[in-house]
Protein backbone atom coordinates (compact mmCIF):
# COMPACT_ATOMS: atom_id res chain seq x y z
CA UNK A 1 0.00 0.00 0.00
CA UNK A 2 1.38 3.42 -0.94
CA UNK A 3 0.95 6.43 1.30
CA UNK A 4 0.24 9.74 -0.40
CA UNK A 5 0.32 13.35 0.59
CA UNK A 6 -3.31 14.16 0.14
CA UNK A 7 -4.10 17.28 -1.87
CA UNK A 8 -7.84 17.80 -1.52
CA UNK A 9 -9.89 19.71 -4.17
CA UNK A 10 -12.81 22.06 -4.13
CA UNK A 11 -16.36 21.31 -5.24
CA UNK A 12 -16.67 17.90 -5.33
CA UNK A 13 -14.29 17.61 -4.56
CA UNK A 14 -11.59 17.82 -1.37
CA UNK A 15 -11.03 21.66 -0.45
CA UNK A 16 -8.07 23.06 1.47
CA UNK A 17 -8.12 25.09 4.65
CA UNK A 18 -10.01 28.32 4.33
CA UNK A 19 -8.25 29.65 7.39
CA UNK A 20 -4.82 30.08 5.92
CA UNK A 21 -6.04 31.65 2.72
CA UNK A 22 -8.02 34.36 4.48
CA UNK A 23 -6.40 37.62 3.51
CA UNK A 24 -7.26 40.04 6.28
CA UNK A 25 -6.25 43.69 5.88
CA UNK A 26 -3.11 43.82 8.00
CA UNK A 27 -0.62 41.21 9.16
CA UNK A 28 -1.51 41.44 12.85
CA UNK A 29 -5.22 41.15 12.13
CA UNK A 30 -4.56 38.06 10.03
CA UNK A 31 -2.49 36.38 12.71
CA UNK A 32 -5.17 37.15 15.29
CA UNK A 33 -7.82 35.52 13.10
CA UNK A 34 -5.60 32.49 12.50
CA UNK A 35 -4.86 32.08 16.20
CA UNK A 36 -8.55 32.43 17.05
CA UNK A 37 -9.54 29.71 14.58
CA UNK A 38 -6.81 27.38 15.85
CA UNK A 39 -7.78 28.04 19.46
CA UNK A 40 -11.40 27.17 18.72
CA UNK A 41 -10.39 23.96 16.95
CA UNK A 42 -8.20 22.88 19.87
CA UNK A 43 -10.88 23.75 22.41
CA UNK A 44 -13.61 21.92 20.49
CA UNK A 45 -11.72 18.66 19.97
CA UNK A 46 -9.15 18.31 22.74
CA UNK A 47 -11.52 16.12 24.77
CA UNK A 48 -12.00 13.69 21.88
CA UNK A 49 -8.28 13.66 21.13
CA UNK A 50 -7.33 13.02 24.76
CA UNK A 51 -9.74 10.09 24.91
CA UNK A 52 -8.55 8.55 21.63
CA UNK A 53 -4.84 9.11 22.36
CA UNK A 54 -5.15 7.58 25.83
CA UNK A 55 -6.97 4.55 24.44
CA UNK A 56 -4.08 3.73 22.10
CA UNK A 57 -1.22 5.15 24.24
CA UNK A 58 -0.28 7.81 21.72
CA UNK A 59 0.78 11.45 22.00
CA UNK A 60 -2.32 13.65 22.02
CA UNK A 61 -0.29 16.62 20.80
CA UNK A 62 0.76 14.72 17.68
CA UNK A 63 -2.78 13.52 17.00
CA UNK A 64 -4.17 17.05 17.38
CA UNK A 65 -1.45 18.54 15.16
CA UNK A 66 -2.02 15.87 12.53
CA UNK A 67 -5.77 16.52 12.56
CA UNK A 68 -5.15 20.26 12.18
CA UNK A 69 -2.69 19.74 9.34
CA UNK A 70 -4.76 17.21 7.39
CA UNK A 71 -8.11 18.99 7.84
CA UNK A 72 -6.96 22.62 7.62
CA UNK A 73 -8.09 23.20 11.20
CA UNK A 74 -11.41 21.52 10.46
CA UNK A 75 -12.25 23.68 7.44
CA UNK A 76 -11.77 21.10 4.67
CA UNK A 77 -14.85 19.94 2.81
CA UNK A 78 -14.05 16.34 3.72
CA UNK A 79 -14.00 17.18 7.44
CA UNK A 80 -17.18 19.23 7.36
CA UNK A 81 -19.14 16.70 5.31
CA UNK A 82 -17.78 13.44 6.72
CA UNK A 83 -16.09 14.17 10.09
CA UNK A 84 -12.91 12.91 8.41
CA UNK A 85 -10.00 14.78 10.01
CA UNK A 86 -7.17 12.74 8.53
CA UNK A 87 -8.07 12.29 4.86
CA UNK A 88 -8.43 8.53 5.37
CA UNK A 89 -9.67 6.62 2.35
CA UNK A 90 -12.08 3.69 2.34
CA UNK A 91 -15.36 3.17 4.18
CA UNK A 92 -16.24 3.33 7.88
CA UNK A 93 -19.04 0.94 8.83
CA UNK A 94 -19.99 0.96 5.16
CA UNK A 95 -20.15 4.76 4.94
CA UNK A 96 -17.99 6.79 2.55
CA UNK A 97 -17.98 9.92 0.40
CA UNK A 98 -16.50 10.18 -3.08
CA UNK A 99 -14.43 13.24 -3.90
CA UNK A 100 -11.92 14.38 -6.51
CA UNK A 101 -8.40 14.60 -5.12
CA UNK A 102 -4.92 15.46 -6.28
CA UNK A 103 -2.04 13.42 -4.84
CA UNK A 104 1.71 13.11 -4.92
CA UNK A 105 2.88 9.58 -5.65
CA UNK A 106 6.09 8.06 -4.28
CA UNK A 107 8.07 9.63 -7.13
CA UNK A 108 6.90 13.12 -6.25
CA UNK A 109 4.60 13.32 -9.26
CA UNK A 110 1.07 14.69 -8.97
CA UNK A 111 -1.88 12.51 -9.93
CA UNK A 112 -5.52 13.53 -10.46
CA UNK A 113 -8.04 10.98 -9.27
CA UNK A 114 -11.39 10.46 -7.57
CA UNK A 115 -11.38 8.48 -4.35
CA UNK A 116 -13.74 7.26 -1.64
CA UNK A 117 -13.03 8.60 1.83
CA UNK A 118 -14.32 7.33 5.15
CA UNK A 119 -17.42 9.03 6.53
CA UNK A 120 -17.57 9.05 10.34
CA UNK A 121 -20.67 9.55 12.51
CA UNK A 122 -18.74 11.73 14.99
CA UNK A 123 -15.43 13.56 15.33
CA UNK A 124 -14.33 11.12 18.02
CA UNK A 125 -14.82 8.19 15.65
CA UNK A 126 -12.31 9.79 13.28
CA UNK A 127 -9.73 10.37 16.02
CA UNK A 128 -10.21 6.83 17.37
CA UNK A 129 -9.85 5.34 13.89
CA UNK A 130 -6.62 7.26 13.42
CA UNK A 131 -5.41 5.95 16.77
CA UNK A 132 -6.35 2.41 15.82
CA UNK A 133 -4.45 2.74 12.55
CA UNK A 134 -1.27 3.95 14.28
CA UNK A 135 -1.53 1.27 16.97
CA UNK A 136 -2.44 -1.68 14.74
CA UNK A 137 -0.39 -0.85 11.66
CA UNK A 138 -0.99 -2.21 8.19
CA UNK A 139 -2.17 -5.55 6.87
CA UNK A 140 1.42 -6.54 6.17
CA UNK A 141 3.11 -5.00 9.22
CA UNK A 142 1.28 -4.55 12.50
CA UNK A 143 4.21 -2.48 13.85
CA UNK A 144 4.45 -0.18 10.84
CA UNK A 145 3.71 2.90 12.99
CA UNK A 146 5.30 1.61 16.20
CA UNK A 147 7.63 4.62 16.23
CA UNK A 148 4.63 6.75 17.27
CA UNK A 149 3.77 4.65 20.32
CA UNK A 150 4.55 6.29 23.66
CA UNK A 151 6.48 3.24 24.84
CA UNK A 152 8.81 3.65 21.85
CA UNK A 153 8.88 7.46 21.41
CA UNK A 154 10.59 9.34 24.23
CA UNK A 155 9.17 12.69 23.11
CA UNK A 156 6.36 13.95 20.94
CA UNK A 157 8.91 15.05 18.34
CA UNK A 158 10.13 11.46 18.07
CA UNK A 159 6.55 10.34 17.45
CA UNK A 160 5.93 13.11 14.92
CA UNK A 161 9.10 12.38 12.97
CA UNK A 162 8.25 8.66 12.96
CA UNK A 163 5.30 9.52 10.68
CA UNK A 164 7.59 10.99 8.00
CA UNK A 165 7.97 8.63 5.08
CA UNK A 166 5.26 6.34 6.45
CA UNK A 167 2.04 8.22 7.02
CA UNK A 168 3.06 10.79 4.41
CA UNK A 169 5.93 11.01 1.95
CA UNK A 170 6.74 14.71 2.53
CA UNK A 171 10.31 14.89 3.94
CA UNK A 172 9.30 17.60 6.41
CA UNK A 173 5.95 16.13 7.49
CA UNK A 174 7.16 15.53 11.06
CA UNK A 175 8.67 19.02 11.24
CA UNK A 176 5.30 20.48 10.20
CA UNK A 177 3.57 18.67 13.06
CA UNK A 178 6.22 19.77 15.54
CA UNK A 179 5.86 23.38 14.45
CA UNK A 180 2.10 23.26 15.11
CA UNK A 181 2.64 21.64 18.52
CA UNK A 182 5.15 24.28 19.57
CA UNK A 183 3.26 27.22 18.08
CA UNK A 184 0.04 26.37 19.93
CA UNK A 185 1.50 24.73 23.04
CA UNK A 186 -0.20 21.40 22.40
CA UNK A 187 2.36 19.58 24.56
CA UNK A 188 1.08 21.59 27.52
CA UNK A 189 -2.55 21.10 26.50
CA UNK A 190 -2.09 17.34 26.68
CA UNK A 191 0.24 17.28 29.69
CA UNK A 192 3.32 16.19 27.73
CA UNK A 193 6.90 17.31 28.39
CA UNK A 194 7.97 20.33 26.34
CA UNK A 195 10.26 19.10 23.61
CA UNK A 196 13.30 21.11 22.53
CA UNK A 197 14.96 18.28 20.61
CA UNK A 198 13.86 19.00 17.06
CA UNK A 199 15.64 21.72 15.14
CA UNK A 200 13.88 20.71 11.93
CA UNK A 201 10.75 22.53 12.99
CA UNK A 202 12.47 25.83 12.28
CA UNK A 203 12.11 25.23 8.55
CA UNK A 204 10.23 28.24 7.22
CA UNK A 205 8.45 26.21 4.54
CA UNK A 206 6.08 23.55 5.82
CA UNK A 207 4.26 20.70 4.14
CA UNK A 208 0.77 21.98 4.74
CA UNK A 209 -1.18 25.20 4.74
CA UNK A 210 -2.12 24.40 8.35
CA UNK A 211 1.21 25.98 9.42
CA UNK A 212 1.79 28.35 6.54
CA UNK A 213 0.94 31.83 7.78
CA UNK A 214 1.09 33.19 4.24
CA UNK A 215 -1.47 30.76 2.82
CA UNK A 216 -1.14 28.30 -0.05
CA UNK A 217 0.70 30.07 -2.84
CA UNK A 218 2.55 29.76 -6.11
CA UNK A 219 3.95 31.78 -8.99
CA UNK A 220 2.60 32.69 -12.38
CA UNK A 221 3.59 30.23 -15.07
CA UNK A 222 6.16 31.48 -17.53
CA UNK A 223 4.58 29.43 -20.31
CA UNK A 224 1.03 28.68 -21.32
CA UNK A 225 2.02 26.16 -23.98
CA UNK A 226 1.79 23.01 -21.85
CA UNK A 227 -0.74 21.52 -19.52
CA UNK A 228 1.65 21.26 -16.59
CA UNK A 229 4.55 23.59 -15.81
CA UNK A 230 6.70 23.65 -12.69
CA UNK A 231 8.38 26.90 -11.65
CA UNK A 232 10.81 27.10 -8.74
CA UNK A 233 12.16 30.44 -7.57
CA UNK A 234 15.36 30.18 -5.50
CA UNK A 235 16.94 33.63 -5.55
CA UNK A 236 14.42 35.55 -3.46
CA UNK A 237 14.25 36.21 0.27
CA UNK A 238 12.24 34.72 1.84
CA UNK A 239 12.24 31.51 -0.19
CA UNK A 240 9.48 31.54 -2.78
CA UNK A 241 7.18 28.66 -3.51
CA UNK A 242 7.55 25.89 -6.05
CA UNK A 243 4.37 25.46 -8.07
CA UNK A 244 2.74 22.89 -10.33
CA UNK A 245 0.52 24.42 -13.02
CA UNK A 246 -2.38 22.91 -14.97
CA UNK A 247 -3.62 24.79 -17.98
CA UNK A 248 -7.24 24.56 -19.13
CA UNK A 249 -8.29 24.55 -22.77
CA UNK A 250 -10.47 27.63 -22.51
CA UNK A 251 -11.93 29.98 -19.94
CA UNK A 252 -14.32 27.93 -17.82
CA UNK A 253 -16.90 30.02 -16.00
CA UNK A 254 -17.65 29.73 -12.30
CA UNK A 255 -19.42 32.12 -9.90
CA UNK A 256 -17.75 33.64 -6.87
CA UNK A 257 -18.64 31.96 -3.59
CA UNK A 258 -20.63 33.60 -0.82
CA UNK A 259 -17.39 34.16 1.10
CA UNK A 260 -15.42 35.60 -1.79
CA UNK A 261 -14.98 38.97 -0.03
CA UNK A 262 -12.87 37.26 2.66
CA UNK A 263 -10.10 36.64 0.13
CA UNK A 264 -7.74 38.99 -1.66
CA UNK A 265 -6.96 38.85 -5.38
CA UNK A 266 -3.31 38.65 -6.53
CA UNK A 267 -1.29 39.22 -9.66
CA UNK A 268 0.65 36.02 -8.82
CA UNK A 269 -0.21 33.16 -6.51
CA UNK A 270 0.49 34.43 -3.03
CA UNK A 271 4.03 33.80 -1.83
CA UNK A 272 5.40 32.86 -5.25
CA UNK A 273 6.81 36.06 -6.64
CA UNK A 274 8.94 38.94 -5.45
CA UNK A 275 6.66 41.17 -7.56
CA UNK A 276 3.51 40.08 -5.74
CA UNK A 277 0.63 42.55 -5.53
CA UNK A 278 -2.73 42.08 -3.92
CA UNK A 279 -6.09 43.73 -4.55
CA UNK A 280 -9.39 43.90 -2.76
CA UNK A 281 -12.45 42.98 -4.81
CA UNK A 282 -13.83 46.47 -4.30
CA UNK A 283 -10.70 48.02 -5.76
CA UNK A 284 -11.40 45.96 -8.89
CA UNK A 285 -14.99 47.21 -9.02
CA UNK A 286 -16.60 44.02 -7.68
CA UNK A 287 -19.31 44.68 -5.10
CA UNK A 288 -21.33 41.48 -5.43
CA UNK A 289 -20.95 37.90 -6.62
CA UNK A 290 -20.17 37.68 -10.32
CA UNK A 291 -19.10 34.97 -12.75
CA UNK A 292 -15.40 34.76 -13.57
CA UNK A 293 -13.52 32.77 -16.22
CA UNK A 294 -10.75 30.35 -15.28
CA UNK A 295 -7.93 29.20 -17.52
CA UNK A 296 -5.29 27.76 -15.19
CA UNK A 297 -4.91 25.99 -11.84
CA UNK A 298 -1.83 26.17 -9.63
CA UNK A 299 -0.86 23.91 -6.73
CA UNK A 300 1.89 24.84 -4.35
CA UNK A 301 4.20 21.88 -3.84
CA UNK A 302 4.22 22.13 -0.06
CA UNK A 303 0.50 22.70 0.47
CA UNK A 304 -2.84 21.24 -0.46
CA UNK A 305 -4.46 24.44 -1.70
CA UNK A 306 -5.68 25.14 -5.22
CA UNK A 307 -5.27 28.59 -6.77
CA UNK A 308 -6.96 29.67 -9.99
CA UNK A 309 -6.05 32.19 -12.66
CA UNK A 310 -9.14 34.07 -13.78
CA UNK A 311 -10.41 37.04 -15.71
CA UNK A 312 -13.67 38.96 -15.54
CA UNK A 313 -14.48 38.63 -19.24
CA UNK A 314 -14.34 35.71 -21.71
CA UNK A 315 -11.99 37.67 -23.95
CA UNK A 316 -8.57 36.02 -23.70
CA UNK A 317 -6.90 39.43 -23.73
CA UNK A 318 -8.63 40.52 -20.52
CA UNK A 319 -6.40 41.15 -17.51
CA UNK A 320 -5.83 38.02 -15.42
CA UNK A 321 -5.61 37.56 -11.65
CA UNK A 322 -5.11 34.72 -9.18
CA UNK A 323 -7.44 33.79 -6.32
CA UNK A 324 -7.58 31.02 -3.71
CA UNK A 325 -10.11 28.22 -4.25
CA UNK A 326 -12.62 28.98 -1.45
CA UNK A 327 -13.45 32.28 -3.16
CA UNK A 328 -15.03 30.28 -6.00
CA UNK A 329 -18.15 28.13 -6.08
CA UNK A 330 -17.65 25.07 -8.24
CA UNK A 331 -20.45 22.78 -9.38
CA UNK A 332 -21.41 19.77 -7.28
CA UNK A 333 -20.26 16.66 -9.13
CA UNK A 334 -21.02 13.02 -8.35
CA UNK A 335 -19.31 10.09 -10.04
CA UNK A 336 -19.84 6.35 -10.20
CA UNK A 337 -18.43 3.27 -11.89
CA UNK A 338 -20.21 2.27 -15.11
CA UNK A 339 -19.97 -0.59 -17.58
CA UNK A 340 -21.18 -0.84 -21.16
CA UNK A 341 -20.52 1.30 -24.20
CA UNK A 342 -21.81 4.35 -26.03
CA UNK A 343 -21.82 5.79 -29.54
CA UNK A 344 -20.85 9.47 -29.84
CA UNK A 345 -22.93 11.82 -31.98
CA UNK A 346 -20.38 13.03 -34.53
CA UNK A 347 -22.87 15.54 -35.92
CA UNK A 348 -22.29 17.79 -32.91
CA UNK A 349 -19.42 20.20 -32.66
CA UNK A 350 -18.59 18.88 -29.21
CA UNK A 351 -15.22 18.23 -27.61
CA UNK A 352 -13.66 15.56 -25.42
CA UNK A 353 -11.88 16.58 -22.21
CA UNK A 354 -9.47 15.08 -19.67
CA UNK A 355 -11.83 16.16 -16.87
CA UNK A 356 -15.51 17.00 -16.59
CA UNK A 357 -16.26 20.64 -17.34
CA UNK A 358 -17.07 22.33 -14.06
CA UNK A 359 -14.62 20.22 -12.06
CA UNK A 360 -12.18 22.01 -9.72
CA UNK A 361 -9.43 20.19 -11.62
CA UNK A 362 -10.30 22.25 -14.72
CA UNK A 363 -10.60 20.55 -18.09
CA UNK A 364 -8.25 20.41 -21.05
CA UNK A 365 -9.46 19.52 -24.53
CA UNK A 366 -8.22 16.11 -25.70
CA UNK A 367 -9.96 15.79 -29.10
CA UNK A 368 -12.91 16.78 -31.25
CA UNK A 369 -15.85 14.37 -31.27
CA UNK A 370 -15.90 14.67 -35.04
CA UNK A 371 -12.49 12.96 -35.10
CA UNK A 372 -13.91 9.74 -33.63
CA UNK A 373 -14.78 6.75 -35.78
CA UNK A 374 -18.32 6.68 -37.17
CA UNK A 375 -20.85 4.37 -35.46
CA UNK A 376 -18.10 2.91 -33.28
CA UNK A 377 -18.96 1.87 -29.73
CA UNK A 378 -16.61 3.15 -27.04
CA UNK A 379 -16.42 1.42 -23.65
CA UNK A 380 -17.46 3.44 -20.60
CA UNK A 381 -16.02 3.07 -17.10
CA UNK A 382 -17.37 6.12 -15.24
CA UNK A 383 -20.44 8.34 -15.16
CA UNK A 384 -20.60 11.84 -13.69
CA UNK A 385 -23.56 14.03 -12.81
CA UNK A 386 -22.91 17.77 -12.69
CA UNK A 387 -25.48 19.79 -10.77
CA UNK A 388 -26.39 23.03 -12.55
CA UNK A 389 -29.01 25.74 -12.08
CA UNK A 390 -31.19 24.04 -14.69
CA UNK A 391 -30.75 20.42 -13.58
CA UNK A 392 -28.22 17.63 -14.01
CA UNK A 393 -25.67 17.33 -16.82
CA UNK A 394 -24.51 13.79 -17.59
CA UNK A 395 -20.92 12.96 -18.55
CA UNK A 396 -19.24 9.66 -19.42
CA UNK A 397 -15.61 8.66 -19.40
CA UNK A 398 -14.76 6.59 -22.46
CA UNK A 399 -11.70 4.68 -23.58
CA UNK A 400 -10.11 5.75 -26.87
CA UNK A 401 -7.16 3.51 -27.61
CA UNK A 402 -4.92 3.65 -24.55
CA UNK A 403 -6.37 6.95 -23.33
CA UNK A 404 -9.54 8.02 -21.54
CA UNK A 405 -11.61 11.15 -22.08
CA UNK A 406 -14.88 12.63 -20.86
CA UNK A 407 -17.82 13.26 -23.19
CA UNK A 408 -20.96 15.21 -22.28
CA UNK A 409 -24.29 13.41 -22.56
CA UNK A 410 -25.65 15.89 -25.09
CA UNK A 411 -23.00 14.64 -27.49
CA UNK A 412 -23.97 10.97 -27.13
CA UNK A 413 -26.14 9.19 -29.70
CA UNK A 414 -26.50 5.82 -27.95
CA UNK A 415 -26.22 5.65 -24.17
CA UNK A 416 -24.70 2.75 -22.18
CA UNK A 417 -27.89 2.72 -20.10
CA UNK A 418 -30.97 4.89 -19.78
CA UNK A 419 -30.31 5.64 -16.12
CA UNK A 420 -27.03 7.30 -15.17
CA UNK A 421 -25.99 6.01 -11.73
CA UNK A 422 -23.46 7.64 -9.42
CA UNK A 423 -22.26 7.26 -5.84
CA UNK A 424 -24.24 9.38 -3.42
CA UNK A 425 -24.35 9.09 0.38
CA UNK A 426 -27.11 10.63 2.48
CA UNK A 427 -29.67 9.97 5.19
CA UNK A 428 -33.28 10.37 4.12
CA UNK A 429 -36.77 9.83 5.49
CA UNK A 430 -39.72 8.14 3.75
CA UNK A 431 -42.19 11.01 3.19
CA UNK A 432 -45.99 10.92 3.20
CA UNK A 433 -45.93 11.30 -0.60
CA UNK A 434 -44.64 7.70 -0.84
CA UNK A 435 -47.70 6.05 0.77
CA UNK A 436 -49.16 4.53 -2.36
CA UNK A 437 -46.00 4.18 -4.39
CA UNK A 438 -43.60 1.39 -5.16
CA UNK A 439 -39.99 0.53 -4.54
CA UNK A 440 -38.04 -1.00 -7.43
CA UNK A 441 -35.18 -3.47 -7.40
CA UNK A 442 -33.50 -1.81 -10.39
CA UNK A 443 -33.90 -0.33 -13.84
CA UNK A 444 -33.64 -2.30 -17.04
CA UNK A 445 -31.22 -1.28 -19.80
CA UNK A 446 -34.08 0.65 -21.40
CA UNK A 447 -34.64 2.63 -18.22
CA UNK A 448 -37.84 0.81 -17.28
CA UNK A 449 -38.57 -0.38 -13.77
CA UNK A 450 -37.89 -3.94 -12.75
CA UNK A 451 -39.57 -5.92 -9.95
CA UNK A 452 -41.40 -3.66 -7.52
CA UNK A 453 -42.78 -3.77 -3.98
CA UNK A 454 -45.13 -1.68 -1.91
CA UNK A 455 -43.75 -0.04 1.21
CA UNK A 456 -45.59 -2.44 3.51
CA UNK A 457 -44.13 -5.45 1.72
CA UNK A 458 -40.62 -4.51 2.81
CA UNK A 459 -41.72 -3.22 6.22
CA UNK A 460 -41.18 0.45 5.48
CA UNK A 461 -43.54 3.14 6.68
CA UNK A 462 -43.80 6.89 6.37
CA UNK A 463 -41.19 8.44 8.65
CA UNK A 464 -38.73 5.54 8.41
CA UNK A 465 -35.13 6.71 8.24
CA UNK A 466 -33.17 5.14 5.39
CA UNK A 467 -29.64 5.40 4.05
CA UNK A 468 -28.98 6.30 0.43
CA UNK A 469 -25.91 4.91 -1.37
CA UNK A 470 -26.67 5.67 -5.04
CA UNK A 471 -28.32 8.39 -7.09
CA UNK A 472 -29.84 7.73 -10.51
CA UNK A 473 -30.73 10.18 -13.25
CA UNK A 474 -33.27 8.81 -15.74
CA UNK A 475 -32.39 10.37 -19.07
CA UNK A 476 -35.79 10.18 -20.81
CA UNK A 477 -37.69 12.21 -18.20
CA UNK A 478 -34.77 13.82 -16.29
CA UNK A 479 -36.05 12.44 -12.99
CA UNK A 480 -33.86 11.79 -9.94
CA UNK A 481 -33.94 8.44 -8.10
CA UNK A 482 -32.22 7.17 -4.97
CA UNK A 483 -31.21 3.66 -3.98
CA UNK A 484 -32.01 3.07 -0.33
CA UNK A 485 -31.11 0.35 2.14
CA UNK A 486 -33.89 -1.01 4.32
CA UNK A 487 -33.05 -0.90 8.05
CA UNK A 488 -32.09 -4.32 9.38
CA UNK A 489 -31.82 -5.80 5.90
CA UNK A 490 -29.30 -6.13 3.09
CA UNK A 491 -32.02 -5.43 0.53
CA UNK A 492 -31.74 -2.25 -1.54
CA UNK A 493 -34.45 -0.55 -3.61
CA UNK A 494 -34.79 2.41 -5.94
CA UNK A 495 -37.35 5.09 -5.09
CA UNK A 496 -38.21 8.44 -6.63
CA UNK A 497 -36.52 11.41 -4.96
CA UNK A 498 -39.98 12.95 -4.65
CA UNK A 499 -40.87 10.37 -2.02
CA UNK A 500 -37.94 11.06 0.31
CA UNK A 501 -37.24 14.04 2.49
Domain membership of residue 222 (yes or no) is: no
pLDDT band at 443 (very low <50, low <70, confident <90, very high): confident
CA gap 23, 27 in Å, rounded: 9
Element (H, E) at 41: helix 27-55
298-324 pLDDT tens trace: 988 766 678 999 999 888 888 999 999
479-495 pLDDT tens trace: 888 888 877 777 888 88
Assess whether 205 and 58 both reside in one domain: yes
For residue 224, the model assigns a pLDDT of: 33
Assess whether 46 and 96 both reside in one domain: yes
Quote the number of domains for the chain: 4
Task: Give percent above pLDDT 90 in the chain.
Answer: 33
Of 376, 394, 377, which is closest to residue 385 (Cα–Cα)?
A: 394
Assess whether 12 and 133 both reside in one domain: yes
Residue 32 has pLDDT above 80, yes or no: no
Ranking 157-166, 266-275, 425-434 by mean pLDDT, the lowest is 425-434
93-134 pLDDT tens trace: 989 998 877 655 444 455 666 788 899 999 999 999 999 999
Assess whether 66 and 195 both reside in one domain: yes
The DSSP string of 84-149 is -SS--BS-BTTBEEEEEEEEE-TTS-EEEEEEEEE--SSHHHHHHHHHHHHHH--SS-TTTTGGGB
Residue 199 has pLDDT above 50, yes or no: no
For residue 458, the model assigns a pLDDT of: 75
The residue among 327, 352, 376 that closes a domain is 327
- Please check whether residue 101 is in contact with residue 9, taking contact to mean a CB–CB distance below 8 angstroms: yes
The residue among 300, 327, 354 that closes a domain is 327
Average pLDDT on 139-168 reads: 87
Residue 329 has pLDDT above 90, yes or no: yes
Of 343, 332, 482, which is closest to residue 409 (Cα–Cα)?
A: 343
- Please check whether residue 99 is in contact with residue 110, taking contact to mean a CB–CB distance below 8 angstroms: no
For residue 225, the model assigns a pLDDT of: 31
Average pLDDT on 245-261 reads: 88
Residue 57 has pLDDT above 90, yes or no: yes
For residue 112, the model assigns a pLDDT of: 67
CA gap 225, 161 in Å, rounded: 40
Average pLDDT on 46-65 reads: 94
Assess whether 93 and 233 both reside in one domain: no
Count CB neighbours of 182 within 10 A: 20
For residue 21, the model assigns a pLDDT of: 35
For residue 29, the model assigns a pLDDT of: 34
Mean pLDDT estimate for the chain = 78
Domain membership of residue 178 (yes or no) is: yes
The residue ranking higher by pLDDT, 496 or 31, is 496
The residue among 312, 327, 342 that closes a domain is 327
Domain membership of residue 84 (yes or no) is: yes
For residue 441, the model assigns a pLDDT of: 79
379-416 pLDDT tens trace: 999 999 998 878 888 999 999 988 999 999 889 888 88
Assess whether 63 and 113 both reside in one domain: yes
Residue 295 has pLDDT above 70, yes or no: yes
Sign of CA dihedral 132, 134, 139, 141: negative
Sign of CA dihedral 220, 287, 32, 177: negative
In which domain, by residue range, is 447 found?
420-499
Domain membership of residue 216 (yes or no) is: no
Domain membership of residue 246 (yes or no) is: yes
CATH number of the domain to which 429 belongs: 2.30.30
Average pLDDT on 228-248 reads: 61
| Residues whose CB falls within 8 Å of the CB of residue 373, separated by 6 or more in sequence, listed in order | none
Assess whether 53 and 201 both reside in one domain: yes
Task: Indicate yes or no: pTM above 0.85.
Answer: no
Of 338, 294, 332, which is closest to residue 312 (Cα–Cα)?
A: 294
Domain membership of residue 220 (yes or no) is: no
Residue 17 has pLDDT above 60, yes or no: no
Assess whether 281 and 158 both reside in one domain: no
Q: Which residues pair with 99 in a beta bridge?
A: 115
Assess whether 177 and 42 both reside in one domain: yes
Residue 211 has pLDDT above 60, yes or no: no
Assess whether 195 and 63 both reside in one domain: yes
CATH number of the domain to which 127 belongs: 1.10.530.10
Of 15, 29, 1, 13, which is closest to residue 303 (Cα–Cα)?
A: 15
Domain membership of residue 89 (yes or no) is: yes
The residue ranking higher by pLDDT, 20 or 194, is 194
Assess whether 74 and 206 both reside in one domain: yes
Assess whether 406 and 476 both reside in one domain: no
For residue 304, the model assigns a pLDDT of: 61
CATH number of the domain to which 385 belongs: 2.30.30.170
CA gap 232, 239 in Å, rounded: 10
pLDDT band at 89 (very low <50, low <70, confident <90, very high): confident
Domain membership of residue 219 (yes or no) is: no
For residue 131, the model assigns a pLDDT of: 94
β-pair type (341-344, 291-300): unpaired
Count CB neighbours of 171 within 10 A: 12
Strand order in the sheet with 306-311: 228-231, 243-255, 291-300, 306-311, 321-324, 265-266, 278-279
36-45 pLDDT tens trace: 478 889 989 9
Residue 292 has pLDDT above 90, yes or no: yes
The residue ranking higher by pLDDT, 141 or 281, is 281
Count CB neighbours of 189 within 10 A: 17
Ranking 199-203, 336-340, 469-473 by mean pLDDT, the lowest is 199-203
For residue 232, the model assigns a pLDDT of: 37
Amino acid sequence: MRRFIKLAMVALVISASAIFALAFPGHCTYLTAQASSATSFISDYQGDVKKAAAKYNLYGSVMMAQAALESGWGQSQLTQQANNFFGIKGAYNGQSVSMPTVEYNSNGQMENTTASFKKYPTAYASFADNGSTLRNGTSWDSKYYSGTWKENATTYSDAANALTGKYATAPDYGASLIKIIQQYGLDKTFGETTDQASSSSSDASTSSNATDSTSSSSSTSSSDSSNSVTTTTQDATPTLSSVKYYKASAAQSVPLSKKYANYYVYNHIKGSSANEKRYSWKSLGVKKRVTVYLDMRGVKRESSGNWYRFRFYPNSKSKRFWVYAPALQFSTIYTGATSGSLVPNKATNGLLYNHVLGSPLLAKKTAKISSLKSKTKYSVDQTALVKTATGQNVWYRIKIGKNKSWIEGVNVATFPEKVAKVDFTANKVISSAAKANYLYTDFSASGQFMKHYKLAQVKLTVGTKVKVDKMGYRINDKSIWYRIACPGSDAKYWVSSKFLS
